[in-house]
A and B are shown apart, each in its own frame.
Chain A
Amino acid sequence: MKRHHMAAVAASACTALVLAGCGQGGEASAAGLDDCLTDPTGCNAGERGDGGEITWALDGSWGSWNQNTSEGNNAYVSVALVGMWPYTGQFDPAGDFIVNEGLFAAEPELVSEDPVTVEYTLKSGANWGDGTDVTVDDFIYHWYATSGNADLCDGCDPANTTRGSQVESITGEGSTVTVTYGEDYHSAEWQYEEVLSQPSHIAEDQGFDWQNDPKAMAAAEDYFAETVPTWSTGPFTIEQAVPGDYVIYVRNDDWAGDTEVTLDKITFRVFDGLDNIVTALRNGEIDGASPFSVTSEAITQLEGADGTSYAVAGGPSWEHIDLNTHNEFLSDPALRRAVLTAIDLENIIERTYAFVQSDIERKNNHLFRNGSEYYADYLSATGQGSGDIEMARGDLEEAGYEWDSDGSLLTPGGEQVTLNFRYSESKENRKITGELTQATLADLGIDVEMRAIPDADLGSVLAEADFDMISYGWSSDPLFVGSASQYWASDSGSNFGGLEDDELDALIADINGTLDYEEAADRANLAVQRVIEDAYVLPIVDTPVVVMVSDRLVNVRDNWASQQRAAYNIAEWGIVDE
């Protein structure tokens, strides 16, 4: 037991020493991004001068240009293509949905609830940047590509068919496109569905008879995966690009959006690792970045950098600890509850994530972010994550558990409880989370073995449920309807800990059974309450991320609610008018 304490103390001491040596981290920075916490959509705003060229760093690469496919579904290509991709819209940092001003004249409209029918009004002049208008055929192309139906696309491998497989028909008249869904479709998030991806006329120009030949449709998808997109529905168009390396944009003069674009050129360039990005920013080689990670060392470097500002805040993913319900010990809900109660989240947060974000808060809802209008804290009252060892011991005693003379926890059957804790080897915070969990569970008489996972193997470890306890992250955005089903439904491939709860399954099915967004959110919260009762997943925090920007840029700020992060409003980016 002593050894575990020593390990935790040593880990904490080492971290503290390192940080003391590197200076203070954690506070949001100077000038432009200072007020992002209070004014998330208006911070770093300013008048833009005409023209200018900037370079923006990305911290990961991609090997396909087609975001429809399993190969191309990648957060980095999504950022790299933000200047030209036909998104339906974007959530802004306040969580409000802004429809794509270059494509649509109005927000999507629900014209029928049974069957669900949604009407899209195309903006006059919405085009693909080559003189060809966006038409109903482009909507149909996207449907076919994401249908998962071999009769429509034979050989396609869409990353997601949740919406595409539910479309019944798509028709168009003038600038209006009407999408009719099948009887099983009742998503409260109908207005946020992506409806466009590739230009159908280019597929035809390349000789793919995609409307009539499912194999040609698949071949067209392959073509778009391999070919640098020269078309654009966004404020910029790609001048030059190398997959996984860089994308150079110039202004798209045919863009139908109303926002005035001022930058002449934007280069998105891939960098390997946060340290290289920070060094390049300090050296004036780039103008900014919003990488998906942050370290105290990087913050120390940024604090000493002239002419730049940075901010750290919760990003588009959340950290959590999961328990494997198929484990011989953790199959008992009483033990799961005791384990989650014994974990001291405030202590974990203080010794990990708080080093980079001093105002970080514990996450108390699995589906809704702290501050969301649908957020409710059902966790605190249960004691889960409180570190209350006495409460945990009491629960275990009540369930028939005992302790032997060495203080080891014994099941009602007399077996000693031992568990493992798994974490990605390069994620220091997850490792410390495990070590602190190991230390607190030692107080409960549970021996925990720490087992690192090579970074590339996390997916395999989860899929094979090769863990007792595990710390990892899920992406989060304002959308929640599909999340509960993905995380916890008994038949979900992503329910890695194998929870099987009929009542929870019924609650999850209810979330998908209403078109009313508020009602769906209420139902989602019922599912959250149920999963807390099951003592299955313990949320920790929204993972901190950093945005760093040269002082010469205005209108650049981070956005947790968009996969494109700071690039969500790329049309508004500019060089400060001096």
Chain B
Amino acid sequence: MMIPVLLGATILCFVLVDIPNDPVQDRVFEIEQSTGEPVPQSTIDALEATWYYDRSIPERYWIWLTGVGDTNDDIGLIQGEWGPSIEGTAMPIGDEVSDRFWITLRLVLFATIASIGIAILAGVVSAVKQYSRVDYTLTFLGFLFLAMPIFWLGQLFKEGAVQLNKILGSTVFQTYGSGTTGFQGNGWAVFVDSLPYLIVPTLVLMLGGYAAISRYQRASMLEVMNSDYVRLARAKGVRNGTVMRRHALRTALIPVATFAPLSLSAAMGGAMVTERIFGWRGLGVYSLDAINAGDTFAVMAYVLISGIVVLIGVLISDILYGVLDPRIRFE
């Protein structure tokens, strides 16, 4: 089913992005504004040919998918070509998407792992201490972060970082970008360099994402704690800590564990607000810019990549169900 779903998504997106946009006209206007002179018709024709805007929408989609027909050898998904970007030839779509994928992954991976960790902890503590002050406090914080729009939370933390830097008299927290401009080194060096840039956006993504999972975890934990086999274990005199750790938590983790891959893949596609606020040149920002500019082939690349990531997330989630819950078997 994955391939038909992906194909359907690409057709829908292609039509939605392509119909309302005319990047050739927009570029012509930009050049005229810049040069103060009319753009020659030969240049307009060349732009149309370069971006395949001298064809109909169905033709463009077919060429994008197959590369079959009269092309400039830069298009055709099944031939490994993503098509031309209206941003310019120095920014080929394939290179941009692959570079930005890792940037987004770096941001999202840390934030998701951290948010799942905190969510499990908060959910378990809330459930164990149900209706206590701790439970109410954690519940309040969860709903607070859940209710805050991510763009607002981002700006708040960004301003907080600036003020903290001012107090400390340094720039411990960087507010824009994913690393020192032009920094080069091995993977570890790049990671260390990116730490001052990583802290604030990771916190924002983490707090924005943990609340929902912690509510799942709390509900799941409560359900398990009230089940017969936990009561039986307690009746048999097993120590409370052992009951919680071995019997309750293990079972209660199943919904969250299966939710995690989906959460990660959703974050890959949905980190665009955080990326925009903190200047991370990731996939989310790339897609947003491409949509705004009517850069159809760039949008298609994003749709395809994020579609594949989500589908892989769903697949892993389904497999995890079977692994964690012996009652579920795939045939």
Q: Which residues of A contact B (CB under 8 A)?
A: 55, 61-65, 70-75, 148, 150, 155-162, 165, 222, 225-228, 239-240, 243-246, 248, 267, 269, 271-272, 276, 279-280, 282-285, 317, 454-460, 462-464, 473-475, 477, 479, 482-483, 485-486, 492-494, 563
Contacts and interface: CB of A to CB of B under 8 A. Distances in A.
B34 A494 contact: no
Interface residues of B, number: 53
Interface string B108-144: 0000000000000000000000000000000000000
Contacts of A246: 181-182
Contacts of B50: 71, 157
A507 B42 CA distance: 27
B321 interface: no
A227 to B, nearest CB: 8
Contacts of A282: 162
B90 A160 contact: no
B162 A279 contact: yes
A458 B175 contact: no
B34 A272 contact: no
B85 to A, nearest CB: 7
19 contacts: A62-B88, A64-B89, A73-B30, A74-B30, A148-B42, A155-B46, A157-B42, A157-B43, A225-B88, A245-B281, A272-B276, A279-B175, A279-B176, A280-B175, A283-B173, A460-B21, A477-B36, A493-B28, A494-B38
Nearest to A222: B89
A76 to B, nearest CB: 10
B292 interface: yes
B50 to A, nearest CB: 7
B31 A70 contact: yes
Contact of A70 (B43, B87, B161, B276): B43
Contacts of B176: 271, 276, 279-280, 285
Nearest to A158: B43
Contacts of A456: 21, 23, 26, 292-294
A159 B276 contact: no
B33 A474 contact: yes
A244 B91 contact: yes
Given A70-B46, A245-B281, A160 B35 contact: yes
Looking at A74, A148, A159, A245, the one whose CB has the most chain B CB atoms below 10 A away is: A159
Interface of B: 20-23, 25-40, 42-43, 46-47, 50, 85-91, 158-159, 161-162, 165, 171, 173-177, 181-182, 276-277, 279, 281, 285, 292-294
Given A63-B87, A148-B40, A243-B91, A283 B162 contact: yes
B88 A72 contact: yes
Contacts of A479: 36
B279 A271 contact: yes
B85 A63 contact: yes
Nearest to A65: B90
B34 to A, nearest CB: 6
Contacts of B36: 474-475, 477, 479, 482-483, 486
Contacts of A159: 31, 34-35, 39, 43
A194 to B, nearest CB: 10
A81 B63 CA distance: 35
A248 B90 contact: no
A226 B95 CA distance: 13
Contacts of A63: 85-91
A71 to B, nearest CB: 4
B44 to A, nearest CB: 8
Contact of A160 (B39, B159, B173, B174): B39
A494 B219 CA distance: 63
A498 to B, nearest CB: 15
Q: Which 9 A-B pairs have the closest CB atoms?
A: A63-B88, A459-B29, A63-B87, A64-B88, A459-B26, A157-B46, A243-B90, A63-B91, A460-B22
Given A244-B90, A483-B36, A492-B38, 17 more contacts: A159-B35, A160-B35, A222-B89, A226-B89, A226-B90, A244-B87, A248-B181, A276-B176, A283-B165, A283-B171, A456-B21, A456-B293, A457-B26, A482-B36, A486-B36, A494-B29, A494-B38
B37 A279 contact: no
A64 B43 contact: no
A192 to B, nearest CB: 12
Contacts of B28: 70, 459, 463, 493
A245 B179 CA distance: 12
Given A456-B21, A456-B26, A64 B90 contact: yes
Nearest to B46: A157
B37 A162 contact: yes
A55 B181 contact: yes
Looking at A226, A243, A248, A454, the one whose CB has the most chain B CB atoms below 10 A away is: A243
B37 A157 contact: no
A437 to B, nearest CB: 22
Nearest to A275: B155
A226 B87 CA distance: 12
Nearest to A227: B90
B7 to A, nearest CB: 27
Contact of B21 (A162, A243, A271, A457): A457
B90 A225 contact: yes
Contacts of A463: 22, 25, 28-29
Contact of B182 (A61, A225, A243, A248): A248
A74 B34 contact: yes
Looking at B26, B36, B39, B158, the one whose CB has the most chain A CB atoms below 10 A away is: B36
B175 A283 contact: yes
Contact of B174 (A157, A239, A285, A563): A285
A486 B37 contact: yes
Contacts of A494: 29, 32, 38
A332 B14 CA distance: 42
Contacts of A458: 26, 29
A97 B29 CA distance: 27
Nearest to A265: B182
A455 B292 contact: yes
A62 B86 CA distance: 10
A561 to B, nearest CB: 13
Contacts of A64: 88-90
Contact of B165 (A65, A70, A284): A284
A71 B31 CA distance: 9
Contact of A493 (B23, B39, B165, B175): B39
Contacts of B285: 272
A464 B22 CA distance: 11
B136 to A, nearest CB: 34
A65 B90 CA distance: 7
B196 to A, nearest CB: 10
Given A157-B43, A157-B50, A73 B34 contact: yes
A267 B181 CA distance: 8
A459 B281 contact: no
A94 B162 CA distance: 37
Nearest to A157: B46
B89 A71 contact: yes
A563 B88 CA distance: 20
Looking at B23, B33, B86, the one whose CB has the most chain A CB atoms below 10 A away is: B33
Contacts of A485: 38
A24 B261 CA distance: 49
Looking at A162, A165, A248, the one whose CB has the most chain B CB atoms below 10 A away is: A162
A71 B23 CA distance: 11
Nearest to A284: B171
A514 B136 CA distance: 82
